[in-house]
Structure 1
């Protein structure tokens, strides 16, 4: 299988050794910022064919200054040949919600401008995008995708309202499920609803999970558990579920 979304550069210990023996053929390794992107590129160079790097700026962190952003965009353009996608990019739903809950003023416009520039770069480089975009933010991101226009969009660990789900399905956007599909009813409902041909499996490692994964390090091999849970919701055998999810990832990322 393929882990469709993992933060490899955030692991203290390597998880890359012996993956083939655990049924993992590739990883889509996303980045947080310029330093993260450089580290992800180094990991990909050390494990060619196994690590597929994506470069970008994660929205759940302080905004970059203009010089920092320009340096990132220039670096991404220079290294476009090694980049499988622009990501992880999106809007800071959790940071904004926390700020608003504490009564702090919030200005979303700088984040929208940042995302717009990153989407513009994806268009110029002809790359798909990996999106951090959930709940009400996802509708706004759909607006931006259509304005550019971008059709190859992967909403990782997506959660959102029915109207947004319907819109994303119409546009043919992909989503991916994490290990929380084993214990979150909301995610299980989404998995039943979303077309099987537009779905992938991910870990978002090293993010820790609950349920049967509580207290365990998040390893790429748990995408097999994701496949089993997703397949059970659709009546697929484990082999069928793994094959479908892998084929979807290969098709989306052009592997």
Structure 2
């Protein structure tokens, strides 16, 4: 079984943990190292230069305070300079959880949308895939932006949303990826049942911790094997069929 972790915050791990994740795991073909901010982008670029398996993704995670104009300008300038080394734009999106905590005003939310549109335009102009943090009610807003700019290579990581949005995403050819949460969360299993296997990937979103059988464990790409096992049961396919399909999906989507 060969796998690619389609979404991991590799720069958030300790150096010895990164070595442990990447060294000796012959079954792990690559990891998509998504970025949180400019410093995160720089760290992931360094890691990609050190480890062949690391494919860097540059962006600004939305679940944090808005950047200043100078900070955002510096990030875009840096991404422009290093766009040949990045495999995709991300992680970008909208601050759903901050809004749930009432830490984002309606005016600020409009500013997050404006920033996201800039990233969508960059992905289109640079002909790069875009990696999205867009769940529940935020997903339709993101779909509007993608459609507005005719962006087709969109990856909604750890997606959660309603049936209407799922149908729209499937029709538009957007991809989703499932985390180890699929092993113990019924709502994720239901989405996986509906979504075509041809538009799916697997991820860890590490070092984000998981519950169920993974409780108390450091998040590691090896957990994706359990995701594959559950996905095989849901899709009524063999684990080999599922692992080969999602591997090929990820390689084609990201041109790996």
TM-score (norm 1): 0.95
The aligned counterpart of 1:216 is 217
Q: Equivalents in 2 of 1:238, 1:20: separation in Å?
A: 22
The aligned counterpart of 1:74 is 77
1:16, distance to aligned residue in structure 2 (A): 3.8
Runs of 4+ in 1 over 6 A off after TM superposition: none
Q: 1:23-46 CA distances to partner (integer Å, 9 max, x unpaired)?
A: 101000100010000000000000
The aligned counterpart of 2:89 is 86
The aligned counterpart of 2:113 is 112
Which 5+ residue runs of structure 1 have no aligned equivalent?
none
1:224, distance to aligned residue in structure 2 (A): 1.2
The aligned counterpart of 1:186 is 187
Is 2:55 the counterpart of 1:52? Answer: yes
The aligned counterpart of 1:23 is 27
Q: Is the 8 A contact 1:32 1:57 kept in 2?
A: yes
The aligned counterpart of 2:44 is 40
User: Residues 16 and 173 (structure 1 numbering): CA distance in 2 closer, same or farther, change over 3 Å?
Assistant: farther
The aligned counterpart of 1:127 is 128
Q: 1:68-127 CA distances to partner (integer Å, 9 max, x unpaired)?
A: 111111110110111000000000000011117xxx744311000110111111112111
2:55 is paired with a residue whose SS is strand
2:101 is paired with a residue whose SS is helix
Aligned pairs for 1:91-240 (under 5 A) are: 91-99=94-102, 105-107=105-107, 108-240=109-241
Q: Equivalents in 2 of 1:105, 1:133: separation in Å?
A: 18
Q: Is the 8 A contact 1:22 1:221 kept in 2?
A: no
2:152 is paired with a residue whose SS is coil
Which 5+ residue runs of structure 2 have no aligned equivalent?
none
1:89 is paired with a residue whose SS is strand
The aligned counterpart of 1:8 is 10
Aligned length: 251
User: Residues 149 and 20 (structure 1 numbering): CA distance in 2 closer, same or farther, change over 3 Å?
Assistant: farther
1:21, distance to aligned residue in structure 2 (A): 3.1
1:14, distance to aligned residue in structure 2 (A): 2.7
Q: 1:184-204 CA distances to partner (integer Å, 9 max, x unpaired)?
A: 000000000001100000000
1:252, distance to aligned residue in structure 2 (A): 0.6
Q: Equivalents in 2 of 1:105, 1:57: separation in Å?
A: 19
TM-score (norm 2): 0.95
1:175, distance to aligned residue in structure 2 (A): 0.1
Q: Is the 8 A contact 1:85 1:130 kept in 2?
A: yes
